[in-house]
């Protein structure tokens, strides 16, 4: 399915983000297709991670944050008064830059959120664990050591466990904030393979500094940079192949060819 014919899963309209007096992102308008991988790229400090966190309101945790404009998940206003933030974060899961495995068993890492949501039957929890670990290709390796601490796994396995933990909540969207930057090349390749499998069911948005990674996995790419007013701005947003072969803006071309950033 081409990007042009995909259903739109997330969209923003003149979205602005402020940290106190700092205008971090300005007038971002974009449409993110369902069951596609969208890469957010750009130099350090241009608001890539802030943009990602706008989608599940993680920026709300910073007291001086203010958001203006519109953002929608399907037809639901993300910043509308009727939006329940807990429900939103169940629908939009997040995987961070460094694996944030909880200091508990592999099993408990995965069932913690389903338990908090009210799932109590042992059979249901076991099904969630098996399904989630199979989705990240860890079930065969870990099925006999579920009581082992998640902290004992390799960094690559820990990151896949974190993805499994997000999948346990059956989200619609997965946000990945430079989730391969702390991994070795072999582990990175496994996570990228996992993305390409998961996108058949989930909408995935990644932040990456790795241009080769964006080219390998992303259907769409959004290039951000700081404008003359020091505001993070969406410069170009297009299918990844188009952006990297025929960028429409000279600033995009300069960035992806390594002339700056």
Q: What is the pLDDT of residue 70?
A: 97
Residue 45's CB is within 10 A of a number of other CB atoms, namely: 14
Q: Residues of the chain whose pLDDT is less than 50?
A: none
Q: What is the pLDDT of residue 2?
A: 54
Q: What is the pLDDT of residue 4?
A: 53
Domain residue spans in the chain? 3-102+171-256
Q: Considering the entire predicted model, what is its pTM? A: 0.93
Q: What is the pLDDT of residue 6?
A: 79
Dihedral over Cα of 157, 162, 168, 171: its sign: negative
Dihedral over Cα of 117, 122, 124, 127: its sign: positive
Q: What is the pLDDT of residue 3?
A: 55
Q: What is the pLDDT of residue 117?
A: 86
CATH class of 3-102+171-256: alpha beta
- Mapping DSSP onto H, E and C, the string for 134-203 reads HHCCCHHHHCCCCCCEHHHCCHHHHHHHHHHHHHCCCCCEEEEECCCCCCCHHHHHHHHHHHHHHCCCCE
């Amino acid at each position: 399915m081409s990007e042009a014919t995909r259903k739109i899963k997330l969209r923003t309209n003149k979205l602005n983000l402020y940290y106190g007096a700092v205008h971090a992102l300005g007038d971002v308008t974009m449409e993110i297709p369902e069951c596609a991988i969208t890469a957010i790229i750009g130099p350090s400090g241009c608001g890539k991670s802030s943009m990602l966190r706008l989608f599940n309101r993680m920026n709300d945790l910073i007291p001086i944050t203010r958001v203006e404009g519109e953002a929608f998940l399907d037809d639901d206003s993300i910043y509308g008064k009727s939006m329940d933030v807990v429900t939103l974060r169940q629908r939009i899961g997040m995987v961070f830059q460094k694996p944030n495995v909880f200091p508990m068993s592999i099993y408990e890492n995965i069932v913690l959120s389903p338990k908090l949501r009210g799932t109590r039957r042992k059979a249901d929890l076991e099904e969630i664990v098996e399904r989630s670990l199979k989705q990240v290709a860890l079930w065969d390796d870990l099925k006999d050591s579920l009581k082992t601490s998640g902290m004992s796994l390799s960094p690559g396995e820990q990151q896949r466990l974190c993805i499994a933990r997000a999948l346990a909540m059956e989200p619609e969207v997965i946000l990945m904030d430079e989730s391969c930057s702390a991994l070795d090349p072999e582990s990175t390749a496994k996570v990228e393979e996992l993305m390409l499998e998961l996108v058949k069911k989930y909408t995935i948005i990644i932040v990456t500094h790795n241009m080769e990674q964006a080219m390998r996995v992303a259907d769409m790419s959004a290039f951000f940079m700081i404008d003359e007013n020091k505001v993070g701005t969406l410069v170009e947003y297009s299918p990844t192949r188009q952006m990297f072969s025929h960028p429409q803006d000279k600033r995009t071309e300069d960035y992806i060819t390594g002339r700056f950033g």
